[in-house]
Amino acid sequence: MRRREMIQSVAGALGAAMGGSLFPASTCAASESSGGPKRVVFFLQNQGFDPKTCIPEGMRNSGSLATAKLPEPIKPLEPFKEKLHIINGLHGRHTSPAHSAFFGALGGYRGSDGVPPSGPTIDYELSKILPQTLLPHLCIGMDSLENMKGKPTIATLSARGAGQPIFMHSNPNHLFQMLYGGISDGDIRRQHEAQSGLFDQIENLAASKGKSLPRSERQRYQQYVRGFSDINGLRDRLDTVADHLRKFAPVVDDRYAHPEFETDWHDVLLELGISALASGITSVLTIGSGRGEIFGAWKGLGIEQQGHNLGHMDQPDNPIWIKIRQYNSRMLVQVMEALESIPEGSGSMLDNTLIVYTSNNADRQHTDGANWPVILLGNFDGRLHSGRFTQLDGKRPINALYATILRAVGQEVDRFNMDEKLAGKFDTGDGPIREILV
């Protein structure tokens, strides 16, 4: 009862927010200029991001995108061109990507298959800094139907710290149950109540039994205990703002229970992610298309090839990769249009949102990470340059981009996950990237 009373008091303060979100606009310095809280979306496509699929033809030097024509793979982003910043020439050599940098893509440290995270990733770091939300950080992963059903949760991209991975959700039925089960009717409601009681029992049992484990096993075991505690706490917090959530919950349709293609689940996972942002449940959303690994399938787009084979195809002028990249671009447009439609402060939610679109594998499969293209969408309430293409010299790491984003939310940092020794080898600069930060 004490836990529930505490949660109700916190949610009560959150629910006093103006507008549609669940948190007060004044809860962090980064929201002062527009009256809106900041939020960040990371969208990572596996198999690499060839720069030729995003740089306008003929652009070799930095400049405005105003008169440029976006290449076909990202053509759906044309209406939002003034909000784009295409960046080429960052590197991630120190992440040892090969097939994927895994946690290193967002952590800026050595990743690779089977290597545990050695520190927090930028998405988690931002979730601690941005205004408090009921679920500070949400991760969703898109893959083949077989993989999403067989492994509905997987951890490959995000981490709280060294040896502390964050799991992403790949089964939309489970995610809907977690976010909106408490406001649903019928079977979904009954399942929610049954699971809530079960998870409470598991949390208590796990916490008591863990004390008898050897010291070497106890830390790993506590991660599982904390996972159940997080789920139980989130369920209680969401229950206290049920009336608000009803305005944003997606409609459960046949795609949830009977998907024809994996893209049906990709689409509803995206809708759930957008609803979590729009309702204020979370301020940081990480999307892993391919779930940070070497797999992935898009049969719903008419693509029969899947998995590792896709990484061995040239991306430029490839009809298969044009379809995948345009599908990603339409997803990004869907996020932007949804947030743009919601008033916030003196503008819309989109004005206070930054979307980072890149790959967990630099520019291609089997890469050394020498070039790591990135597209930023949104100027973060005027804190970042947009409507531009920036060509860097390949001497600054992705860590510098993450430090720049931290600066944009008011953190006076010069580096992210990079000490002096590592920076001396992999970074020729210091502080934020001046071409990006206003």
pLDDT in tens, 66-75: 999 999 999 9
Q: Is residue 107 part of a domain?
A: yes
The CATH number of whichever domain residue 28 belongs to comes to: 3.40.720
Q: Is residue 335 part of a domain?
A: yes
| Residue range 114-130: mean pLDDT, rounded | 96
- Select the more confidently predicted residue: 17 or 280: 280
Q: What pLDDT, in 10s, does the model give residues 39-97?
A: 999 999 999 999 999 999 999 999 999 999 999 999 999 999 999 999 999 999 999 99
pLDDT at 237: 78
> How far is Cα 266 from Cα 289, in angstroms, rounded to an integer?
9
Q: Is residue 227 part of a domain?
A: no
CB proximity list for 61: less than 8 A, separation 6 or greater: 391
- Select the more confidently predicted residue: 436 or 178: 436
Give residue 25's pLDDT band: very low, low, confident or very high (50, 70, 90). very low
Q: What pLDDT, in 10s, does the model give residues 318-328?
A: 999 999 999 99
Q: Is residue 126 part of a domain?
A: yes
162: pLDDT strictly greater than 90: yes
| Domain total of the chain | 1
Q: Is residue 402 part of a domain?
A: yes
pLDDT at 399: 98
- Alpha-carbon Rg for the chain, nearest whole angstrom, is 21
Q: Which amino acid is present at 204?
A: N
Q: Which range is least confidently modeled, 212-221, 257-266, 392-401, 403-412?
A: 212-221
Nearest to 164 by CA among 100, 219, 94, 234: 219
Structural domain for 163, as ranges: 2-174+249-426
| Residue range 120-124: mean pLDDT, rounded | 98
Q: Is residue 217 part of a domain?
A: no
| Residue range 277-305: mean pLDDT, rounded | 96
- Select the more confidently predicted residue: 225 or 364: 364
The pLDDT mean for the chain works out to: 86
Give residue 209's pLDDT band: very low, low, confident or very high (50, 70, 90). low
Q: Is residue 224 part of a domain?
A: no
pLDDT at 188: 54
| pTM score | 0.86
Give residue 330's pLDDT band: very low, low, confident or very high (50, 70, 90). very high
Q: Is residue 39 part of a domain?
A: yes
Cβ atoms of residues 95 and 108 within 8 Å: yes
Q: What is the DSSP letter of 158?
A: E
132: pLDDT strictly greater than 80: yes
pLDDT at 34: 55
136: pLDDT strictly greater than 80: yes
Nearest to 347 by CA among 27, 8, 137, 37: 37
358: pLDDT strictly greater than 70: yes
